[in-house]
């Protein structure tokens, strides 16, 4: 849906466009809550994993 707003439009037209945009049905999108806090195969502490990964990065760039 395209709604064009020109500089010369009045206040009523702007409000009409806002109403149309607010009525528009939102798409489903990505459900991030489904994956919140889940890392499959993580057996060690997250901080230890992060330190190990950073250490590997430092060794590879030296």
Higher pLDDT, 1 or 13: 13
57 pLDDT higher than 70: no
pLDDT digits (tens, 9 = 90+) for 2-54: 777 788 888 888 888 888 888 877 777 888 888 787 777 778 888 888 888 88
Distance CA 37, CA 49 (A): 15
Q: What is the DSSP letter of 44?
A: S
Q: What is the pLDDT of residue 61?
A: 65
Q: What is the pLDDT of residue 60?
A: 65
Cα dihedral: 27, 28, 33, 35 (round 10): -120
| Of 33, 5, 37, 31, residue with least CA distance to 18 | 5
Residues 45 and 38 sit within 8 Å (Cβ to Cβ): no
> Which residues have C-beta within 8 Å of that of residue 49, sequence separation ≥ 6?
42
Higher pLDDT, 46 or 59: 46
């Amino acid at each position: 849906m395209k709604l064009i707003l020109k500089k010369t439009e009045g206040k009523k037209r702007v409000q009409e466009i806002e109403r149309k945009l607010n009525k528009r049905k939102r798409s489903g999108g990505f459900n991030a809550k489904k994956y919140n806090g889940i890392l499959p195969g993580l057996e060690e502490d997250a901080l230890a994993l992060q330190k190990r990964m950073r250490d590997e990065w430092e060794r590879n760039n030296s």
